Amino acid sequence: MEEPLEASDTRQTDKKLLDVLRGGRADPPPVWLMRQAGRYLPEYRALRAEKGGFLDLVHDSEAAAEVTLQPIKRFGFDGAILFSDILVIPHALGQDLRFVAGEGPRLSPPLVDSALAALETAPERLDPVYRTVALVAEALPPATTFLGFAGSPWTVATYMVAGQGSRDQGETRRMAYGDPEAFGAIIDAIADSTIEYLGRQIDAGVDAVQLFDSWSGSLSPAQFEQWVIGPTETIVSALRARHPDTPIIGFPKGAGEKLPAYARETRVDALGLDETIDPEWAAEALPSDLPVQGNLDPLALIAGGERLDHAIDRIKRAFAGRPHVFNLGHGILPDTPIAHVEHLLARVREG
C-alpha cells in the first residue's frame, strides 16, 4: 500500500474523499452512501414519474445527471456516485435488458440456455453513461469526489446466466462447476468490457471507481478465488496501467473472512465492508494503511435514535487513526427517513 499522504504530496487535492481513498487520514471521515440517489428522495420519485421506466432514466443523460446530483444538493455528501446500473454491461454485450415492475431486471436470452457467441455486442449502448459522467463532472462542487462504478464479473455473470436475480445464484454456480470453460468465457467477456467501461468513465471525469460484487458471498473459497479474486485482479491491473492515479474500491459483499485475501490479491486501493463485518475485527485483520469503507447497517439508519448513534460511534471508534470512508454496508433502503440521513451526517461530522 502507499504511504499516507502528506500535505506536500502532489496528489493531495481539495477533495477529502479522494485523498482518503489514496491513503490519507481525515477526522472526521468523509461520507457518502451507496444508493444515495434513489427512491427515498422525493425529488427522485418525482423525476422518475416524469421520465417513465428505470432504464429510460438511465439512458436519459440529462436526467441521470440530475439524479446523481440530487443527494449532493440536498445533503452535501463528500462523494457523488454515478446514477446507472450494473446491468448496462450485459446490455452492451448483446443481451436484451428490461426492468419489470415489482420483479426486477430481466436479461434475455439467459446464457444458461444460449451461447455467449450468439450475442451481438452493442457497445454504443454505453454512450449515454459517458455523457452523464461528463455532465455531472462539469456540475459538481470542486470539493466533491465523483465515483464511477461497475459490477464485478461474478455478480454480473449471475444475472447473465440466469436472466434475472436469484437468492442462491444456483444456476450460475452449477454452470461454473459443470462447464468452467464456457463460464470462464462469460467472465472474460465481462472483465474486458468492464475495463473499457470504467476506463471511459475515468476519461469522462470520474475521480475514482467502485467494483460491486454483491453476490460474492455465495461462493466456496476455491470458487471465490477463481471467479471473484482472479477477474477483479485482471480489471484492477488493466485500469491501473491506464489510469495509475485513479483509486479503485472493491466491494465483495459477503466475503467475510476472505476479505484479507481479496485485498491482498486483487490489490484494490480501498475495501468496502458490508454490515455483517465486525469493524473491530476488520481494523485488526486488514493492513493499517488500507483505506476501508463502511459499514453501517442500512436498517440501523432506518431505526434511528440511540441505536443509530451507537452504531455510528462504534464504526468511527474502530477505524479511528486509519484511512476510513464512512458509508453503509449496502445500499440505502427506500423507506429510510430523510431526517435520519441528516442526523447521520451531523453525527459522523462531529469532531
> Is the confidence at residue 41, as pLDDT, over 60?
yes
Q: What is the pLDDT of residue 341?
A: 98
- Active centre residues (catalytic): 35, 39, 48, 85, 159
Q: CATH number of 16-348: 1.10.1670.10, 3.20.20.210, 3.30.870.10, 3.40.640.10?
A: 3.20.20.210
Which tens digit of pLDDT belongs to each residue from 164-206?
Answer: 988 899 999 999 999 999 999 999 999 999 999 999 999 999 9
C-alpha cell at 120: 451481438
- pLDDT-based confidence at 103, cuts 50/70/90? confident
Which tens digit of pLDDT belongs to each residue from 125-164?
Answer: 999 999 999 999 999 999 999 999 999 999 999 999 999 9
Task: Measure the CA angle with vertex 13, ends 324 and 204; round to 5°.
Answer: 95
> Is the confidence at residue 266, as pLDDT, over 50?
yes
Q: What is the pLDDT of residue 11?
A: 62
φ, ψ for residue 97, nearest 5 deg: -125, 130
Mean pLDDT to the nearest integer, 13-30: 96
- Do the beta carbons of residue 133 and residue 206 sit within 8 Å? yes
Q: CA-to-CA distance for 33 and 295, rounded, in angstroms?
A: 10
Most confident of the following: 47-51, 95-99, 272-276 = 272-276
Q: What is the pLDDT of residue 1?
A: 39
- Domain spans of the chain? 16-348
Which tens digit of pLDDT belongs to each residue from 296-329?
Answer: 999 999 999 999 999 999 999 999 999 999 999 9
CA 38 to chain centre: 14
